[in-house]
Amino acid sequence: MTARDIIREALLDAMNWQASLADAYRHIPNAPETKEAKAQIRRYRQILNQRYGAPQERP
């Protein structure tokens, strides 16, 4: 596994973590944690798109 693959995997892990945080706070209306987690997911996805092509799920 190359360094590029490791970084890509780390970004996918971070996206999954942020998605689980957003899910955990979903029951709280207008929770800033949910908004921040979703914003972070968008940032990670943008990095993946720019540097590694479209984000893909793990096989």
Residue 56: the pLDDT is 59
Residue 6: the pLDDT is 93
Read off the pTM.
Answer: 0.79
Token pair for residue 45? Answer: 């996805």
Residue 59: the pLDDT is 39
* Sequence-ordered list of residues with C-beta below 8 angstroms from that of 11, at least 6 positions apart, any chain: 44, 47, 48, 52, 55
Residue 25: the pLDDT is 93
pLDDT tops 90 at residue 57 = no
* Sequence-ordered list of residues with C-beta below 8 angstroms from that of 13, at least 6 positions apart, any chain: none
Q: To which H or E segment does residue 39 belong?
A: helix 32-52
The structural domains of the chain, with segments of one domain joined by +, span: 3-52
Give SS3 for 18: helix
Q: What is the pLDDT of residues 11-45, one digit of tens each?
A: 999 999 999 999 999 899 889 999 999 999 999 99
Scan for tokens 């720019």, then name that residue: 50
Residue 52: the pLDDT is 83
